[in-house]
Structure 1
């Protein structure tokens, strides 16, 4: 039984055994959240294993984003712990620059994820007091199943692990091309075509802008109210301005000031079909996690008529779409900018810390990173990359404090006793 286990640390190669004991936490996900946690654990001298279902780090950024994408916030709000962006990078780094930064980050902190390992299940074993994480790998046409045993489990799969596909009557019979925004790369191939963009968040706005810039004819579906704000006000980042005001003023007052400034900069956007919510932008973000749209040029295209704003979709019929107001449009292609969701409920067998929507039950605000029995979540507090970085620091310090204390104790619990406890269950 003993040869079924192999004690590993961060510098050792994981063997394809039936069961592997990890001397430290298992981190699920090698996106920015997982990398940040790994780097902070490295600083604490805590070994770890990072599991990643794709064949690269930050697969969302590398494989499921459009070409023109840039960070919507200034780089100082998007850098990960322990390593700032290069000074040569612009204030709003491009997609390629951000990927280069993440690859340099992984290299600097010697983070080598186990790629092509898709977690099937993760559950806490009450008998042994350990987590059991089962993965499947289909790399190189060979299916391999591995079970990792660990004391700590860090969920770093993020808020945007899976695309959301809306259920709209007739969509499956639509005769034109239908893609999700994660498969959209450029508007070049849509030149001259009538494209329906379903969704008006940051992705929907930017896809519509890109289509207009490539001489397509986009119609953007706006079903509900939305806060559109300029990315900058008087040469300063709107987000940075809001953060500074929140240090001195209550949230409701900051919202009032922001909306007045937005009115002066953008004018009345409701006459273009963009109705603002009753709740202010910062309050809405804090209460419901709904991010305001930061405009980078789409509003100018809407004003000039190069982007049409239309109400919700009722049904598709062939290559036509019927809107909720009764209007019908001829459409060549559809881009579903309908967002993403967490995939945690599909594999994590736990219901005390995580809710059915795949977020920690206390995800909004300053909590939501620590559960019971060694379970942690990073990047689920709806505060972007800066929030994920704060989670990573907290998690590493929490695990590190226990690790350092126990490694100094001569009577600390040995890995042999762990392995013996697990072995008895096979």
Structure 2
């Protein structure tokens, strides 16, 4: 543990109490021990640069371990979900389960000897120009300082809960998908699922398989694509085509195959946006739904598609089309959001929604040693690309500072000899 002064008052206080007010971290401070934070730490270690990860939970990848439902599997093939420098075990299936992905991340941390400090919720992080260091304070009472700060909390740091008129008056239970584990808890119930993204679709499917009666709210347009096309991953097909064809043409090809394999989803109440799925993802970050069986249940009537909610009542909901239904439970499949704006102070690198103002692929680096990873809206592939860039950039600075220190030591040694 070492300390440096960022002002005479702090030095005076430090001398009076004879206790370090803060700890100076040798390498970068990384906030978040999810896949993003682990990837940066591993890439830094390959360059010989130490790092320190602060994690608010008591485990790595807390979003995956604590906030996801039991039946979750990766929507993309495992080769698109690997972190840098370490592949998935060969015996893992093409689409690993939640438990398998967590075990991969734990093996990843063990392989690169990554040891986050758990139960450390960051209260604030701010750059101090007087000493050129980032001051990172946690609610647990300690301040750490470093030349570099890596924001690795990502775009899915905490549940996003919308304001729904009348929700507080509902007599049944209301849960966000972050607290949903299994449809077995809702067996025999009429359940309103608010949201029709990948989570809303999968939760509705899980409820259906558990003999519940899900009603899925579709508030806007949505692209639904098959998870596989002609036996190949839809995402893989898209990535291959993008190497040779313009994005909008690839979108047309994807939609053509989707219409052939899935049919006209508009007839099911799932209207497609006018903008293609890949272009929409790039512009807004809205991910197309990859169907894993929900569409068949919608066609059979077991999952009922309903219009946007006008108001929640004591026993159910009123919809914009005038219909009213009774429900036993409500599940909010409304996704997650960034929490950066609540603790990162100063600067204008992030929007008020907690996303980098500079879009991918240039949103990984800010000023004064600030870096971000996990904000590309491109999943783990985007995370891996940014982690490699961040580690390389910090490593260059690290080597320069070591070289300068060695030179200073050499010059000091020469002066000492001359005086002797």
SS at match of 1:248: coil
1:312 aligns with 2:308: yes
SS at match of 1:283: helix
Report Cα offsets for 1:96-139 as digits up to 9, x if no partner: 000000000000000000000000000000111110000123xx
The equivalent of 1:368 in structure 2 is 363
- Give the C-alpha shift of residue 404 in structure 1: 1.3
Task: Supply the distance in 1 between the matched residues of 2:320 and 2:132 (Cα, whole angstroms).
Answer: 54
Report Cα offsets for 1:370-391 as digits up to 9, x if no partner: 0010000001011100100111
Report Cα offsets for 1:235-292 as digits up to 9, x if no partner: 0000000000000000110011111000000001110100000000000011111100
The equivalent of 1:45 in structure 2 is 48
CA separation of 1:280 and 1:34: change in aligned 2, threshold 3 A: same
Task: Supply the distance in 2 between the matched residues of 1:413 and 1:361 (Cα, whole angstroms).
Answer: 39
2:182 aligned to 182, 186, 190, which one? 186
Task: Supply the distance in 2 between the matched residues of 1:79 and 1:3 (Cα, whole angstroms).
Answer: 36
The equivalent of 2:266 in structure 1 is 270
The equivalent of 1:135 in structure 2 is 138
SS at match of 1:334: strand
Task: Supply the distance in 1 between the matched residues of 2:391 and 2:408 (Cα, whole angstroms).
Answer: 20
2:377 aligned to 366, 382, 386, which one? 382
- Give the C-alpha shift of residue 413 in structure 1: 8.2
TM-score, length of structure 1 as denominator length: 0.91
1:289 aligned to 271, 274, 285, which one? 285
CA contact (8 A) 2:3 2:24 kept: no
The equivalent of 1:118 in structure 2 is 121
Task: Supply the distance in 1 between the matched residues of 2:267 and 2:98 (Cα, whole angstroms).
Answer: 33
- Give the C-alpha shift of residue 341 in structure 1: 0.5
Structure 1 unpaired stretches of 5+: 7-15, 138-144, 415-426
For these two proteins, the number of residue pairs brought into alignment is 396
The equivalent of 1:251 in structure 2 is 247
TM-score, length of structure 2 as denominator length: 0.92
Which protein shows a greater Rg?
Answer: 2
Report Cα offsets for 1:74-97 as digits up to 9, x if no partner: 000000000000000000000000
Task: Supply the distance in 1 between the matched residues of 2:408 and 2:26 (Cα, whole angstroms).
Answer: 12
CA separation of 1:377 and 1:216: change in aligned 2, threshold 3 A: same
The equivalent of 1:421 in structure 2 is none
SS at match of 1:169: coil
2:153 aligned to 152, 157, 160, which one? 157
Task: Supply the distance in 1 between the matched residues of 2:376 and 2:279 (Cα, whole angstroms).
Answer: 15
Report Cα offsets for 1:140-197 as digits up to 9, x if no partner: xxxxx00001000000001111111111111011000100000000000211100000
Task: Supply the distance in 2 between the matched residues of 1:334 and 1:293 (Cα, whole angstroms).
Answer: 21
1:26 aligns with 2:29: yes
Task: Supply the distance in 2 between the matched residues of 1:271 and 1:350 (Cα, whole angstroms).
Answer: 49
Task: Supply the distance in 1 between the matched residues of 2:186 and 2:408 (Cα, whole angstroms).
Answer: 62
